Amino acid sequence: MKKLFSILAASALVAGMATSCQAPNTLSASEEAEGWQLLFDGETLNGWRDFNGKELTNGWTVVDGCIQASGEGGDASGYIVTDKQYANFELMWDWKLTKGGNSGMLYHVLEGPRFKVPYVTGPEYQLIDVEGWEEINNAKLEEWQKIGVDYAMHLPDQSKMKVNPVGKWNTSKIVFDNGHVEHWLNGEKILEFEAWTEDWFEKKASGKWGDATEYGLAHEGLICLQDHGDPASFRNIKIKELPKKAGDKVSLFNGKDLTGWELFGSMRLSVDDEGNLVTQNGEDLQYGYLGTREYYKDFDLTVEFKQESNGNAGLFFHSFVHGGYKSNVVNGWQCEVAPKNCDTGGIYESYGRGWLIQIPDEKETILKEGEWNTLRLRVEGDKVETWLNGQEMIKIEDKLIGSKTGRIMLQIHDGNNIIVKWKNFNLTKL
């Protein structure tokens, strides 16, 4: 028995050594079976490019099997992103910094000419040599700026923090599972939280991101590495995608108040005695938008509307407003809601292409002016379909729509005293 035990123990030791000596930037058979994928092949930067770019131009290189930031970046530059977008995942990576080094791993990053830097949309797992940074800069970091934080939002449990010295490798992990978020450091879970809860929105509104209207709202986006002016090295970057929870039903409006919505630009809002949402021009008669504070990508939405005055409005999707809460510059797509003979149910784009599809002339009679109408909007991948009062209005496929995400928004057009009522917002996530 002793001999058999010794043989088994030796076998276990060899197996353990084989596991611990696994070559960097490779996956074990068990990892491959579990669905892990490498984001870095150890030799090239294939699959990575500049943020808001099509190629790599900003100094990132591969050195000795590591992705290395040159240290030439800064707050406004030095970011690289994955080609692919990710929604729910476990993301692991090894990293090491130089003395005073500052870097980060971001996720759910969105691109576009309105987003100049990744962190205005994507949450960040902060990577920083706290002691070195404070010594070099002769300043103290805020707690929300230190290693392992969900930057400017959530703090880690300091009793769980085990950081290896500068120049040594550390291992971090982010879990994002349909809004449940975890940060791990060297095998210990250091923080967890739920995204898009009342507490989450309160933190967002009261801190650094109070004016960053689109921060943290995306349910999917790019993975991003940061060069913040200090050399940093990364290896063993791997991801396992987790399933999306579909089929959830959401009532966007509670019939009482504007919980779950945010106002942009100029619009007067009220809830009448019958529980209808009333939207109308502000005193300046300019554009106004009421947007969900959450993003929705693939969904099937029905809503009822009644045009009481003029009726020139719209139901936007995959949209955001640029320039803060006082702005009315919208980016995205509009399902038209307008007077008769003005294409209610058609799709208009504010990115520059204008009308993507208008309704057939013979369908203009489907709209019931001055009465309640039922509008249905279904968006799934590249496909968009609309129905008005049970009759199909348009069907279109568009890759740009499929690549984006954003808020659902109600518009009031400028120039007139427009009044539109809304009720029974029912959305199913696809």
Residue 306 is predicted with a pLDDT of: 97
Percent of the chain with pLDDT over 90: 88
Last residue of a domain, one of 220, 241, 262: 241
Written as six digits, the tokens of 328 are 């009315």
Same domain, 49 and 170: yes
Residues 44-66, mean pLDDT to the nearest whole number: 95
Inside any domain, residue 4: no
Last residue of a domain, one of 209, 241, 273: 241
Does the pLDDT at position 20 exceed 70?
A: no
Same domain, 176 and 259: no
Residue 1 is predicted with a pLDDT of: 39
Last residue of a domain, one of 223, 241, 259: 241
Residues 243-264, mean pLDDT to the nearest whole number: 95
Q: What is the DSSP letter of 298?
A: S
Whole-number Å distance between alpha carbons of 405 and 408? 10
Does the pLDDT at position 9 exceed 50?
A: no
Whole-number Å distance between alpha carbons of 410 and 328? 12
DSSP characters for 258-288? Answer: -TTEEEEES-EEEE-TTS-EEEE--TT---E
Whole-number Å distance between alpha carbons of 298 and 284? 35
Angle made by CA atoms 24, 28, 31, in degrees to the nearest 5: 115
CATH assignment of the domain containing 43: 2.60.120.560
Same domain, 267 and 208: no
Written as six digits, the tokens of 405 are 């995400």
Whole-number Å distance between alpha carbons of 52 and 115? 9
Q: Secondary structure of 359-382 in the HEC alphabet?
A: CCHHHHHHCCCCCCEEEEEEEECC
3-state secondary structure of 320: strand
Q: What tens digit of pLDDT does each residue of 61-78 get?
A: 999 999 999 999 999 999
Distance in angstroms between the alpha carbons of the first and the last residue of the chain:
59
401 with 333: CB under 8 angstroms?
Answer: yes
For 16, other C-beta atoms within 10 Å of its C-beta total 10
Range of the domain at 198: 26-241
Tokens 């689109």 locate to 214
Residue 417 is predicted with a pLDDT of: 87
Whole-number Å distance between alpha carbons of 234 and 189? 20
For 61, other C-beta atoms within 10 Å of its C-beta total 11
Residue 246 is predicted with a pLDDT of: 87
Residue 22 is predicted with a pLDDT of: 75
Whole-number Å distance between alpha carbons of 332 and 318? 6
Residue 382 is predicted with a pLDDT of: 98
Written as six digits, the tokens of 319 are 């949209």
Which residues contact residue 138 at a Cβ distance below 8 angstroms, ignoring those fewer than 6 apart? none
Whole-number Å distance between alpha carbons of 224 and 245? 24
Same domain, 321 and 381: yes
Written as six digits, the tokens of 190 are 């250091």
Same domain, 156 and 201: yes
Whole-number Å distance between alpha carbons of 231 and 245? 39
Same domain, 262 and 215: no
Written as six digits, the tokens of 154 are 């959530």
Q: How confident is the model at residue 416 (pLDDT cuts 50, 70, 90)?
A: confident
Q: What tens digit of pLDDT does each residue of 337-378 get?
A: 999 999 999 999 998 899 999 999 999 999 999 999 999 999
- Which contiguous run of DSSP H or E holds residue 309? strand 299-309
Same domain, 165 and 304: no
Does the pLDDT at position 2 exceed 70?
A: no
Q: How confident is the model at residue 18 (pLDDT cuts 50, 70, 90)?
A: very low
Same domain, 262 and 232: no
Does the pLDDT at position 111 exceed 50?
A: yes
202 with 42: CB under 8 angstroms?
Answer: no
DSSP characters for 179-223? Answer: TEEEEEETTEEEEEEETTSHHHHHHHHHSTTTT-TTTT--SSEEE
Residues 396-415, mean pLDDT to the nearest whole number: 96
* Poorest-pLDDT segment among 82-91, 122-131, 150-159, 243-252: 243-252
**Domain count for the chain:** 2
Q: How confident is the model at residue 58 (pLDDT cuts 50, 70, 90)?
A: confident
For 50, other C-beta atoms within 10 Å of its C-beta total 16
Tokens 């489907």 locate to 366
Tokens 């599809």 locate to 357
- Which contiguous run of DSSP H or E holds residue 156? none
